[in-house]
Amino acid sequence: QVQLQESGPGLVKPSETLSLTCVVSGYAISNGYDWGWIRQPPGKGLEWIARIHHSGTIHYNPSFESRVTISADTSKNQFSLKMTSMSATDTALYYCARRGQGLAMGAFDIWGQGTMVTVSS
């Protein structure tokens, strides 16, 4: 059973850089699939941030492209997100997720439970 678990600092100061990690269990990320990050501000909807293919191909939401970096560490079976210049509007629940395959390739079929990030001084 594939499971994803996010981890992060919880609280970040304005202008600082956020670092998040998603540990994948039950599947080796080097074997396939795409992996992504999605966020959800409190009481609001979902926003896709970035995606990394198991081969290393990366795509970003243009809204974040200038300040995010997604990477993967296959030796630890995890992938990460860094977001610079954090502000209060970046306060959100950050999810990692697996992109489906085949007919489900347009969707995210497995999600982590999310990690809350609050930006405040």
Residues near another protein (CB under 8 A) are 36, 38, 45-48, 51, 59, 61-62, 95, 100, 103-109, 111-114
User: Please, is 55 exposed, middle or buried when counting C-beta atoms within 10 Å of its C-beta (0-12, 13-18, 19+)?
Assistant: exposed
Q: How far apart are CA 6 and CA 74, in angstroms?
A: 16
Instruction: Select 8 or 112, whichever has its Cβ closest to another protein.
Output: 112
Instruction: Select 10 or 106, whichever has its Cβ closest to another protein.
Output: 106
Pairing of strands 78-83, 68-73: antiparallel
As measured in angstroms, the least distance from the Cβ of 23 to another protein is 15
Count of alpha carbons within 13 angstroms of residue 24, beta-carbon side: 27
As measured in angstroms, the least distance from the Cβ of 74 to another protein is 22
As measured in angstroms, the least distance from the Cβ of 95 to another protein is 6
Instruction: Select 15 or 63, whichever has its Cβ closest to another protein.
Output: 63
At 57 the three-state DSSP class reads: coil
As measured in angstroms, the least distance from the Cβ of 1 to another protein is 12
For tokens 């950050």, the residue is: 94
Instruction: Select 21 or 100, whichever has its Cβ closest to another protein.
Output: 100
